[in-house]
Amino acid sequence: MTFFRHLLVILGASLLPGVHASHDSPEKILGSWAVVSPRMHILKPATVVRELPVSTKTDRIRELTPDGQAFARTNFSALMIEDGAIVFEEYAQGATRESPLNAYSMTKSWTSLAVGEALCAGKIKSLEDPASIYAPELAGTAYGEASVRNLLRYTSGAQDPGGNGYSGIHDTRDFGAMIRHDMSLLDLMRKYGGKSRFKAGEKFVYNGLNSDALSLVVRGATGVSMPVWFENTVWQKAGAEYPAGWYLDRDGHAVGEILVFATSRDFARVGLYVLDHLNGKMGDACMQAFMKDAAYPHVAKGYWNSAPSWGLGLHYGADGNTWMFGHGGQRVGINVMANRLFSANGSKDHPFTDPDAQRLLAK
């Protein structure tokens, strides 16, 4: 199945009321493209694709491939890269290396990388600047008053639209209206832009509108939408091989917290971009410093024992490694000391998802 057909399956099934959700024929899926495509920015492959050679370590391949196959069996994909080479690459349930898969909340980490690139390009002068300097439309909201750093840390002090402090779930009706383009991200941030009982910088609250506010910051700072900025910086440097899709609201702002679709190989390449900055193999001093700051455990999340701390858009795992996490089995784990990366996509979090992923990354 081609990239666009896969994308339509995902969007039609889970996001867009009125878009045909049937998976039983490519024709029905393709018939929805006219509705879906105007709501996405399609990232083109990088000019120079990063090669992913197969490892020559036959003992490692023999040792780890059965575990990779077992992990993929209940997911869509599982991919291990060590010293820049693939140790195993497994797909299941109809997915292939060309299948665009859902990032879910791994999108939040991609948004933070775009912010880092804007900072190091001089577009954002300081992470301590209030967001409203770059996104004046956020003035009068807690998001506009928050520093860029506190938005990255999820400590903006804004009220939690989900109400429980950690789930990141919005008011379902309003978030659905934004997806349908009946509301904008700015409408959401103004509606839920009051201050919580916590001061800015005081407490982590898993509120995805922080990432959506960063989307507006990047656009205001760079003069282009965040997916375009990401495509011109992170995506190129990561050497992405396939197209990807990033959902836009009705004003053309990227949803910064969710709704990115890419292949498992390109999720892994973005992970390698992070790894190469953390170990000093890629980027200038500014981006290397930003990445280390992003991966540092700045604040305790207060839940999720597998990844108890949060940096600037990256998770700090209980295993001491850097992670991008998304609902439904989306994982990119980065072991800097071992120069190793594990990437996986799925549709369901299983009780063994995190223990198995962390065990594989540690091997």
pLDDT on residue 141 = 97
pLDDT on residue 164 = 53
Residues 292, 69 contacting (CB under 8 angstroms): no
Does residue 200 have a pLDDT over 90? Answer: yes
Measure the CA–CA gap between 343 and 333, rounded to whole angstroms: 6
Considering Cα of 260, then 99, then 325, then 297, what sign does the dihedral take? negative
Measure the CA–CA gap between 314 and 292, rounded to whole angstroms: 10
Sheet holding 315-316, edge to edge: 85-91, 77-82, 340-345, 330-335, 322-326, 315-316, 309-310, 299-300
Kindly report, residue by residue over 121-145, the tens digit of the pLDDT: 999 999 999 999 999 999 999 999 9
Kindly report, residue by residue over 328-346, the tens digit of the pLDDT: 889 999 999 999 999 998 8
Nearest to 324 by CA among 231, 211, 219, 218: 211
Torsion of CA 139, 145, 149, 150, to 10 degrees: -120
pLDDT on residue 109 = 98
Domain borders along the chain are: 1-43, 108-221
Is 108-221 assigned to CATH 2.60.40?
no
**Highest-confidence segment of 11-15, 93-97, 138-142:** 138-142
Q: Which range (99-113, 114-128, 134-148, 289-303) has the least confidence?
A: 99-113
Q: At what angle do helices 106-120 and 209-222 cross, to 10 degrees?
A: 30
The backbone torsions φ and ψ at residue 350, rounded to the nearest 5 degrees and listed phi first, read -100, 160
| Burial environment of residue 334 by CB neighbours within 10 A (0 to 12, 13 to 18, 19 or more) | buried
